[in-house]
Chain A
Amino acid sequence: MSLEIEHVEKLYKIVSTQTVIHALNGVDISLPTGKTLGIVGESGCGKSTLARLVTGLEAPNKGNIRWNGSPIHNVNKGSFSTKKSVVQLVFQDPYSSLNPRQRIGAAISEIITVHKLVEKEHIDSRVSELLALVGLADDLKNRYPHQLSGGQRQRVSIARALAAEPNLLVLDEPVSALDVSVRAEVMNLLIDLREKLGLTYIFISHDLAMIRYISDFVAVMYLGKIVEFGNWEQVINDPKHPYTQALINAMPDHTVIGNPESLAKTLQGEVPDPVNLPTGCAFHLRCVKATPACTLVSQTLIEISPNHQVACMEAKA
């Protein structure tokens, strides 16, 4: 019982410039059901592309994505209008992901109707059940999205995803657009739902603190590859890849204060262009530990301690 992502590659061809963007360059992940995988990385690292592939919105150029042994694309397509869907996606921005002219109740019941999950006469009570599940009052059914706060809208988006009775929820930056004081409530809700419904999560974020808080496993991505993978304690408390170390160092941390020097230990340079990938290790241009060998050879993930994999020649257990 697991999600298997095997050697997945995704390219985007740009017709006008005759170039190719290498969005994903060979990604392997195995995630047991009921667990949460946190994926962290900066813009352009391929984390949202991976989300689109896992949800079946796009197909990979190479490789397979399987849920309990069956290819996820067939699973999702075949069952699209008949029964439950295996995987659902929650987007970052609850302002643009809800139809502004559709009442909340209709937005949720639409999913139930499309998937033919409940008899017609029970749809309304199922909508009530879903609203209660995400902690919203029943009278919100008749409201429009603009009458709701950001936190309430994100709860509606979660309720819509759950309406299709998925096993796997892909959460793409689900709290980044919310005010700081309401983020905690949505995070707590996600944790409660995971336990109540036995859901498997892929939680995508650029915020390592949120990743640390919710994840069982953490994958750090850089330029379309996983550079470090392990359980959350290994990756966050004992990072081995120089990029993970830099990322953790760059997290704004409100527990370290009045220390301007902490800003100086910063990673130099920017993420290279995914059209012209650097030779060797994609990180060597910004890496403080890079050796001449790093400019030539790209290190694949190697296990440096049980379950802790790092794609770096210089990494030691």
Chain B
Amino acid sequence: MKIVIMGCGRVGAALAGMLDAEGHNVTILDLDAYSFRRLPAGFKGKGLIGNGIDEDALKKAGIEQADAFFALTQGDNRNILAAQIAKHSFNVKRVICRIYDPLRHELYEGLGLESISPTVIMAEILKKKLEG
């Protein structure tokens, strides 16, 4: 699969490494070249400096041929915008977006944007830990 990831933070870099190891064609976008240091040794994909809310940068990353797009920057709104560009302007089949704010997450899920709220998931895991 051809996969484009926006945001090369810890999660983005780890995901890129995992997908790359499984043989997928991965391109990861970040505004800061220094963030690509997080990519694992032997990463065969492409690290590209660029803004995922900019259509030209997305095209350069190969969004037109992508089967999946992940929006994983620190900014909820930036992720929401990029995910909607990928979904509605480039018709990417699978678009997944990280939204920290649980209320915003709920709203966009309702609007049909596949998203994950690490806040809710983390809180649930912690609670389960306590309950043993």
Q: Do A and B come from one complex?
A: no
